[in-house]
Structure 1
């Protein structure tokens, strides 16, 4: 299962290091909650890749790359459990019960989630249910799209010249309505705001930020399908962002001066989008 990764690392002289890696056992009857990272299959961790090759059952979400799933244990059963706004989606309770049921049947269960499972990914809810069901589990962190996705667009979330703080938030609550946050406090709290799942309510959110005193000329960048061959970036101002239409999703929205660094740091072009490794 590790032949693909070994061949890649072998070309760089690190083959022995992978062979010597002391990976923990993926025991039957346990669940690993693994972050797949954003987009490119190469952004999963070595421990996550190890789990992908060992799993008997893979329960994966909508943001997991098909190219990554192609690297899984050929004998694994793959179960789609994706949630996308406005489309029929499995209920969270049913997903969690599946994890418990497969583990209790003695399977090695991989819950594969885009980004990081503990960053707006319901990983905490699922791990809590596994704990209550007395199912052994392991958390394998991933690269959050709010960090890695922006990096693929040449946007650093912090920079010494612009900001020493950043806020991460989700644009909607569990009902699908705009998040009931203290928007005036958020508008003042940090120069940079990174928003997950905010495209649907972007007009409302930008109006709340403007009403709270944010500069209408404040920069906005929207990174869609981050770290994938379909990646695209839309740049606008806070005042005009609410008029944008047909923005591709999934997307990360960043408000603040850091998107200006794209002029020099927008590196993800050409062959990097074609080779599949990101």
Structure 2
């Protein structure tokens, strides 16, 4: 089994869906005890990489090493043990509407352990306390705000004290205040769980500057940068400067003549 600190090493990783390759030879390290942000444009392969780290997709080529062990080469029992030590915060929190907040957060414990309900509730209350929601343990998801549901999703992700915490766009859909609170919660997770590998997929540059120790930038399925935040900010590479500067690509807009007859027909209908 992997050691107590689970660095994630990507070694010439190729992956995708069916015969389509999305990830193209990615090399990089996501170190334990740090917050690593996976950054890149829409469709670049960030979510696909997350699915591979989670073990939902098998690499086409290359490997993912967790704690020094090839994740996809271990036997099935070890594979399941590793996956059980991963917590996931989904974009929308992914709470079940028919369950209370406490039942949602305690679901992994109910599914994977034989702990008594009283013990599970104590653990859940502790984890909800870490995200400021202990008073809402018996509320239902539809009785909470979007920001609160996302914080509850974080509590569920850490309820089994995972070695790896994977967060998919944790600040998406949040107003600036709630987004800042989520950043602070992720920083507090690093303090509470100093050996945890925290991996955040994000488009949010403000959040990047607030939380990132380590950054992996993906561009068209390849690793454009992997290293610390300061190195990224000082890079002179064109794509990285464009990404951090929020500079648009030049878009060619060919002029298409609508034609007087079409314009006249449209105007006729608009005037009715």
Q: Structure 1 length normalisation: TM-score?
A: 0.27
More helix by share: 2
More strand by share: 2
- If asked which structure has higher relative contact order (CA below 8 Å, sep 6+), I would say 2
